[in-house]
Structure 1
Amino acid sequence: MLPVTYQFPVFDFTELVHEPVISKKYQPLKPLQAGQLTPDIKLINKNGTWLNSKIRNYEGTVFTYQLLSKPLVISFYAEAWNRKGIHILKKLNAIQNEILAAGGNLLIVTAEGPFAQAEVNWKHHFNLSFYHDVNHEIARKFNVFSEEDPIWNKFSGIDVNAPLLATYVLSPAGQIVYDHIDTAFNGSFPVEEIINATKNAR
């Protein structure tokens, strides 16, 4: 009986097509700070982008100069921060009337949609004004969100990218007069400083 010879195909490694290695340049987050100019932002007033807004109801696009007809406290919130984010919302909700009495407005900016916003207000008995920041456009302007430096690189327990827990006071002159980036998570929140900054921003 003749031996059976198996012929295996010879793989030519020169036929491999190597995909190019695309290197992403790391760009660390550098949130805007007090003393810098307010970035040029615009809010679209349609399709449920506002929730419970106490800010003057402009039709269509709301530009920076319209937002800053009076001092504005703007705070970034994301569901991914869980209790940390809710803690800050509780503090802001508690001083909302004092911000208004100081001549300012308060706006919570979030990439969560209107149903999620309404649920937060209802579940925690808040009366906050939210704006739906689609694709984190406003958060990018304040440099508190970036794909190049996702927050899971900085904080444990976060598995999605989200804006930093940042709160700003903006003056009608178009300047950031106060900033607070919560990275300590120790339960403290500078409510008095925010109120005073709002009073002095007029």
Structure 2
Amino acid sequence: MSLTNDLKSLAQNSAKKHPENVQQIMKNGIQVLKDADIVSQALKTGNAIPEITLPNAANKNISIQELLLDKKVILSFYRGGWCPYCNLELKALQQALPDFEENGATLVAISPETPDNSLTTSEKNNLSFEVLSDVNNKIAEKFNLTFTLPQDLVEIYKGFNIDLEKSNGNTEQQLPISATYIINQDGTILYDHIKEDYKQRADPEELINILKNR
């Protein structure tokens, strides 16, 4: 099955587990982002990316601009290892990694989690690509992807034993919306997939097709 279908199945199963009021709060959180028109403000195809140097899971600084000297870069912003939709996406990206590399691209994932928590995510999902730690969402902010969680959604997450303060090493309750980019070697964005709904992600098959045709 494709990642898109797997995500739909996960969403359907998740909806069955949660009472209506919880589902409504999560839906409202997505609607707030849509009402704020956050996607229209994000960097998109044709824009140049900022300088990006972030620590990986081993606390080694990785420069996207240096990676671009050799290949295009697929850049995936995800919310964190606590998010089941993110983990599903990361596993699908890992499976597609040989195809990405065969078609001239390096894969890099970015989340606001601390390096220690990024390492946990990387090990849990057996990831062999770079997982970078964007503490305080400094890079995500430059892409205009960040938002602050509504307080009622923060409380729902706490009920799920999701501690964003521990995961992200701050008290901001900020996350990036889910976004995937293909970056040309000149630093401009070749492709973007940006959605307010965290249940929607770029399918690896689409990314491979873009790489093959560009």
> What TM-score does the superposition give when structure 2 sets the normalisation length?
0.63
SS in 1 for 2:146: coil
Task: Tell me by how many angstroms 1:167 deviates.
Answer: 0.5
Q: Which residue of 2 aligns with 1:123?
A: 124
SS in 2 for 1:98: helix
Structure 1, unpaired ranges of 5+: 1-26
Q: Report the Cα distance in structure 1 between the residues aligned to 2:42 and 2:49, rounded to whole angstroms.
A: 12
Q: Which structure's CA Rg is the greater one? A: 1
Cα deviation code 1:146-173 (max 9, x no counterpart): 4xxx2549x8956732001111001112
Q: Which residue of 2 aligns with 1:9?
A: none
Q: Report the Cα distance in structure 2 between the residues aligned to 1:39 and 1:185, rounded to whole angstroms.
A: 22
Q: Report the Cα distance in structure 2 between the residues aligned to 1:128 and 1:61, rounded to whole angstroms.
A: 12
Q: Which residue of 2 aligns with 1:8?
A: none
Q: Which residue of 2 aligns with 1:42?
A: 52
169, 175, 178: which is aligned to 1:165? 178
Q: 1:130 to 1:37 in 2, by over 3 A?
A: same
Letter in 2 for 1:106: L
1:170 touches 1:176 (CA, 8 Å); kept in 2? yes
Q: Which residue of 1 aligns with 2:42?
A: 31
Q: How does 1:71-82 map to 2 (within 5 A)?
A: 71-79=72-80, 82=83
Paired-residue identity, %:
25
Structure 2, unpaired ranges of 5+: 1-35, 159-172
Letter in 2 for 1:165: S
Q: Report the Cα distance in structure 1 between the residues aligned to 2:121 and 2:181, rounded to whole angstroms.
A: 21
Q: Report the Cα distance in structure 1 between the residues aligned to 2:58 and 2:130, rounded to whole angstroms.
A: 5
Letter in 1 for 2:191: Y
Q: Which residue of 2 aligns with 1:95?
A: 96
1:52 touches 1:127 (CA, 8 Å); kept in 2? no
Q: Which residue of 2 aligns with 1:144?
A: 145
Q: Which residue of 2 aligns with 1:17?
A: none
> What TM-score does the superposition give when structure 1 sets the normalisation length?
0.66
Aligned length: 161
1:51 touches 1:118 (CA, 8 Å); kept in 2? yes
Q: Which residue of 1 aligns with 2:26?
A: none
How large is the RMSD of aligned CA atoms in angstroms? 3.2
Letter in 1 for 2:145: V
Q: Report the Cα distance in structure 1 between the residues aligned to 2:146 and 2:201, rounded to whole angstroms.
A: 23
Q: Which residue of 1 aligns with 2:187?
A: 174
Task: Tell me by how many angstroms 1:51 deviates.
Answer: 3.1
